[in-house]
Amino acid sequence: MIDAPPYAALPDPSWAIGKHAFLSLRALRRRGRTEIDPIARRIPYQWQGSFFQDHDDQPFILLHNSAGGFVEGDAAELHVVAEPGTRSLFTTTAATKFYKCEAAETSRDLVNFIVGEEALLEYLPDEVIPFAKSRIERTTRVALHASSRLFASDVISAGRVSYGAGELFAFASMRSQFEVRIDGRLVVLDRLVACEPEDVAVLPRLWGGRTHLATVVAYAPSFPHDLVERVQERCEAFGGRCEAGATLIDGVIFVRALAEQVWQAHEAVYRIWETVRPAISGKPARRIRKP
């Protein structure tokens, strides 16, 4: 790891080894491209470097928590500072799994991005899978400058959909929050709060019998005037097994999709990215390769 800049997030030395994963990264312009410097790390987060899938100046970063999932009170924190003018894409190596918490401890996951002037952030993680009896608290925060650009997604599954006869909505509690700020002003606050059995019990009805919830947020200082209409047309083309809708509020495109299968949720995210990416990053979407 390199010397930490004064604004970098750092781990607490008192944390138990292996119970509190931590990764602090900085994206900066160097040698005519964006490069990623690791500032601090604690296992089970691993640092695997970055690769340039598009063969240009934008690195792709695979986030890898080698624990395989969250167990009984585990915690993880990812902190990324994207300096002005940088272009970066973050994804995960696999789904994020929250295992059962028999001692009623809550597992916590925090993802925090700070995006500088005229910087581009693309964040496309795999789905979150809550196992039976899991207790989950997860927060994703993105702080943008008005000149920044963003494409971010979030996919939550109802549980281990294909386990045995299906393990759906069997988690004990979930508090999930996705927020985006522009110049300090809160523009997106999306919450799923189901902390009591009766809260969890109504989710199958609220999700319309589907088992995967996908959320997409896209922002740029300006969009083509018909972009949100094109996104909505793409949503309407998904078919009955994946119902989706798009809206534009305060310059932010927000999309919600409900799908029967996880691949349908991810395909919806990709098709929206395919529609929006040229306006955000100036290049077409390509399937992300994960070594």
Q: What is the C-alpha to C-alpha distance for residues 65 and 81, in angstroms, rounded to an integer?
A: 19
Percentage, residues of the chain above pLDDT 90: 88
266 in Cβ contact with 91 (< 8 Å): no
Q: What is the pLDDT of residue 12?
A: 85
**Residue 256 has what pLDDT?**
97
pLDDT digits (tens, 9 = 90+) for 195-248: 999 999 999 999 999 999 999 999 999 999 999 999 999 999 998 889 999 999
Q: Is residue 185 very low, low, confident or very high in pLDDT (cuts 50, 70, 90)?
A: very high
**DSSP SS3 for 271:** helix
**Cβ(126)–Cβ(154) under 8 Å?**
no
How high does pLDDT run on average in the chain? 95
Residue 255: pLDDT over 60: yes
Q: Which of 83, 64, 65 is nearest to 145 (CA)?
A: 83
Cα(83)–Cα(80) distance, integer angstroms: 9
Bridge-based pairing state of the strands 252-259 and 212-219: antiparallel
| Angle (deg, nearest 10), helices 227-236 and 262-281 | 160
* Whether pTM exceeds 0.75: yes
Q: pLDDT tens for residues 9-64?
A: 888 888 888 999 999 999 999 999 999 999 999 999 999 999 999 999 999 999 99
> What SS3 class is residue 198?
helix
Q: Give the Cα separation of 264 and 251 in Å (integer).
A: 27
In the chain the first and final C-alpha atoms are separated, in Å, by: 23
Q: How do residues 88-142 score in pLDDT, each as one tens digit?
A: 999 999 999 999 999 989 999 999 999 999 999 999 999 999 999 999 999 999 9
According to the model, what pLDDT value does residue 11 have?
83
Query: What is the C-alpha separation between 162 and 90, in angstroms, rounded?
Result: 27
Can you tell me the distance from the alpha carbon of 134 to that of 155, in angstroms, rounded to the nearest whole number? 17
